[in-house]
Amino acid sequence: MVGGTVGNGTAGQQLDAAQGDGKRRFRSADQLAAVADPRVRFAVCSRAPDSARGRRELARNVEARMSVVLQILMAMLLALAVPDQGSQAVRADLAMMEGEFYLVAGEINGQAMPDDMVKSARRVTKNGVVTVYFGGQAAMTARIILDPSKKPRELNYEMIDGPSKGRRQLGIYELFDNPKHIELKLCVAGPDFDRPIDYSTSPGSGRTMTVWRRDKPGD
């Protein structure tokens, strides 16, 4: 009896301890029983992969949306960087550049162009695309991009044909509407050079300065 009492007391104490521990871990006996059920344990364990997949899918969705946002921002920045070629000022300057011009004077890297080179040079612009000829041979063809809002006015050549095909050359320009002719003054840098800020050239500058003229009809 004594031994049975002691044994029951010990078992009771152990049960109370286990129940007390259970109370600390679970709010009710139902929760304890539910976790003890292997089917519930499987359901609980199976949620972790679902949660991980959800996080991965969320991360992919966020990444995809951020990619779209970045593409839109880049497109907006590029649109701001390129002047509107349909603006009135751009159209007016492009219209003045249209047609055939002959070379009046020129310098390359600080050296004056030879007279025979000057006399044989022509530039023909049509629909914003210019081709420069020397001695009847095409030397280059480029699409003209203008920004007359800058000081000095800026010009880009997007090279279509010639030694710098597929590249870009940066320059500045001036237009003069004289009574008998239109005069175009350019200073354009080579493909690997910065845009000029004036019309000077010097050895190694990579710049070409030219003055072109187009006579008006009737002259």
- pLDDT tens, position by position, 59-95: 777 777 777 777 776 655 555 555 555 589 999 999 9
Nearest CA to 146 out of 95, 215, 214 is that of: 95
Structural domains of the chain, with CATH? 2-78 (no CATH), 88-215 (2.40.128.280)
pLDDT at 58: 77
Q: Which of 25-29, 72-76, 149-153 has the highest mean pLDDT?
A: 149-153
Question: What pTM, to 2 d.p., does this model score?
Answer: 0.62
Average pLDDT score over residue span 150-177: 97
pLDDT at 77: 56
Average pLDDT score over residue span 141-151: 97
Binning pLDDT at 50, 70 and 90, where does residue 34 land?
Answer: very low
Q: Where in the chain does DSSP place strands (E)?
A: 99-108, 111-112, 121-126, 129-134, 137-147, 153-161, 168-177, 181-189, 207-215
Q: Could you give the percent of the chain with pLDDT greater than 90?
A: 58
pLDDT of residue 150 exceeding 80, the answer is yes
Q: Retrieve residue 77's tokens.
A: 């920045």
